[in-house]
Chain A
Amino acid sequence: MTGVPGSTVPGSTEPGSTEPKPRRGKKAQGGKGRGNARAFWLFVGPFAVGLAVFAYLPIGWSVLLSFFDARDTVTPTRFVGLDNYLHMLTEGPFLASLGTFSLFALFIVPTTFVLSLALALLVNQIGFARAFFRSVFFLPTACSYVVASLVWKLSIFNGVRFGLANTVLGWFGVDNIAWTASTDPPWYWLVLVTLRLWLQLGFYMILFIAGLQRIPRHLYEAAWIDGARPGWQTFRHITLPQLRATSVAVLLLNLIAAYQAFDEFYNVLSTARGYPPFARPPLVYLYYTALGQGGQDFGRGSAGAVILAALIAIVTLLQGKVFGFARRSD
């Protein structure tokens, strides 16, 4: 099962079926019910309290704050109705941040899909040293986005001559390129996309390898008997259709991860002068609105968080539907 937080949620779980059969006669039920309630809360209580305080309370509070003028305060008194939402949805920066996310997703989602599938196919097709290659491609998952940003920003895509990319280009007579500071053309996208590719390809490759290994051998054997040759034909007509559930999982996980992009944008693009005005994905924008140096605006920050949460909740619910659908057709 290619489990994803949301994928396993709707449809696939039946809490009703978890109830064990009653073990005693009807007479004991009353007392046992109370005993069970105590036992249940003994186990679930601490977690439930934590979830209430650190998941439900923040969201509730934030919905409240989003209707108030809450600059530099978390206990505001001036009710402003939908002003914060209107500001978010009509002024430029928040919408621009959604645009930045869309552009990033447009770059990262297809490339991750194709390259992780390619790696999975290659690794799956070799005999010797298979585990070695799989480990090498999976290893970057151990690295944090912060460390990757360090390497990409100060070593590989350093804008001066000793940067690796500029050194290599220099061999071909190309002038130095200011990778992370250049907006025309926007080379920083190349930096951000290759960084995320390096860090996450191995993870999605593992999902694809698991998917490939679930495809029954006899499908290929039957195709070969029918005269199909290994290669594009079997890939197109057997492998790809059989990988449908995995493919949907990879696409959606990747999309949801891109939606939350923060670490590498913040670390690659920030300088001593602060974050540049361009390329601010939603979380970076919220970070500077709610916690930035120019004053903390929890009203607008909360409104933004509510909008982002609503958008992602819709995607997760759709994901559940798509997954249920994909699983049925498998």
Chain B
Amino acid sequence: MADHDVLRPVGYRRTPAGILATVARYLALSVAAVLFLLPFYLVLRNGFATEQEITAQGWRLFPDRVHWENIGELLDDPAVPMLRSLVNSVVVSVAQTVGQLLFASLAGYGLARIPYRHSKKVFYAVLATLMIPAAVTFVPSFVVVSTLGWISDLRGLVVPVMFSGFTAFLFRQYFLAFPAELEEAARIDGLGHWGTYWRIVVPNSLNFFAAIAVITFIGSWNSFLWPLVIGQDQSAWTVQVALSTFITGQSINIHELFLAAALSVLPLVLMFVALQRFLVRGAAETGIKG
């Protein structure tokens, strides 16, 4: 960002005190940055080190060399279902994101644009669900899902989380601000609500869809409590549940555990770096935890 964006009285920074303050700021920020990056570094360091190097007495910043062979060791280890759980995570997160976007966007559009006698009541019923975070009601949700026979079943991981009142609310707000002239034009061309939605509204809203998709995907990938409750069998573990099982008890080689953690974080870190601006705007505008 350009220097003139910084808000300061003219000439202020040129005084010795001003220069000192700037130096102090950069110093503080640099120390903080090192601390913030340290955990990422530790994941990589431990993931690509040998067991002896991790548990050695003298703590060294860099092990002798990067042990790439750890990757093969991790993926071949029959005791550690890491590949399976990564695949589960991909399936669950993608399905959850697609489902949430589909149902919530349709509902948001209906609530925003289709006049109907009971529309207001339905809207309030959606709003009411925002008062109680889903995590707080995991016991009741478990009861329903177990009745459906979806324990240790990917459906149980995906379907109950596909109906987000908050996402529907965000879509409704977005569609309220969508330029009505575009829809009018489609209407004149003889398209109904359905045709207008799919041919005009959605293609012109891809940015918004993408922003919600990214945020939903990250939330889904990192979620833990619900996958822990539902994924009781190893076959239904997501990567977070698999990692947790080894963190909280079952013995495993430490370097394999850290490497698995690195593999689970990598896709999101890449996504973050690539979509930085997008996410920052999304976080600031919606207040959604990524």
- The chain A residues found within 8 Å of chain B, CB to CB, are 1-9, 13, 15-16, 18-20, 22-23, 33, 36-37, 39-44, 46-48, 50-51, 53-59, 61-62, 65, 74, 119, 122-123, 125-128, 130-131, 133-156, 160-162, 164, 167, 198, 200, 202-203, 206-207, 209-210, 217, 220-221, 224, 230, 249, 253, 256-257, 259-260, 262-263, 266-267, 270-272, 283, 286-287, 290-291, 298, 301-302, 304-305, 308-309, 312-313, 316-317
Contact = CB atoms under 8 A, between A and B. Distances in A.
A224 B9 contact: yes
A137 B46 CA distance: 22
B269 A139 contact: yes
B265 A130 contact: no
Contact of A266 (B1, B106, B107, B244): B244
Contacts of A198: 35-36, 39
Nearest to B258: A150
B113 to A, nearest CB: 7
Given A48-B125, A62-B139, A266-B228, 20 more contacts: A42-B110, A43-B106, A43-B110, A50-B103, A54-B159, A62-B143, A126-B25, A127-B3, A136-B33, A137-B36, A142-B269, A147-B43, A207-B287, A210-B284, A220-B7, A260-B133, A267-B248, A286-B138, A302-B143, A305-B138
B8 A230 contact: yes
Contacts of A145: 222, 224
Interface in B256-290: 257-258, 261, 264-265, 268-269, 271-273, 276, 279-280, 283-287, 289-290
B109 interface: yes
29 contacts: A3-B285, A9-B169, A20-B115, A36-B115, A39-B114, A44-B122, A46-B106, A50-B103, A50-B162, A51-B126, A51-B163, A55-B134, A58-B143, A65-B140, A138-B280, A150-B247, A150-B257, A151-B42, A154-B247, A155-B46, A161-B57, A162-B56, A200-B289, A209-B284, A271-B248, A283-B135, A290-B142, A305-B138, A317-B131
B130 A9 contact: yes
B116 A54 contact: no
B206 interface: no
Contacts of A36: 114-116
A155 to B, nearest CB: 5
Contact of A305 (B2, B130, B139, B221): B139
Interface in B88-107: 103-104, 106-107
A8 B131 CA distance: 12
Interface of B: 1-9, 12, 22, 25-26, 28-29, 32-33, 35-40, 42-43, 46, 54-57, 59, 103-104, 106-107, 109-117, 119-120, 122-127, 129-144, 146-147, 159-160, 162-163, 165-166, 168-169, 173, 176, 180, 187, 192-194, 197, 218, 221-222, 224-225, 228-229, 240, 243-244, 247-250, 254, 257-258, 261, 264-265, 268-269, 271-273, 276, 279-280, 283-287, 289-290
Given A5-B166, A47-B104, A144-B221, A305 B248 contact: no
Nearest to A257: B289
A65 B276 CA distance: 45
Given A139-B272, A272-B249, A46 B140 contact: no
Contact of B59 (A23, A43, A44, A167): A167
B154 to A, nearest CB: 16
A24 to B, nearest CB: 11
A164 B38 CA distance: 11
Nearest to A151: B39
Given A15-B119, A62-B140, A42 B194 contact: yes
Contact of B36 (A5, A140, A302): A140
Chain A interface, >50% SS class: helix
A47 B107 CA distance: 6
B162 A150 contact: no
A124 to B, nearest CB: 8
A20 B146 CA distance: 43
A54 B144 contact: yes
Contact of B139 (A143, A270, A301): A301
A54 to B, nearest CB: 4
Contacts of A37: 116-117
Contacts of A143: 39-40, 222, 265, 268
Contacts of B3: 127-128
A147 B265 contact: yes
Contacts of A221: 9
B200 to A, nearest CB: 15
Give the top 10 A-B pairs by smallest Cβ distance, nearest first.
A43-B110, A62-B140, A58-B140, A50-B163, A47-B107, A127-B3, A144-B222, A272-B249, A210-B284, A270-B248
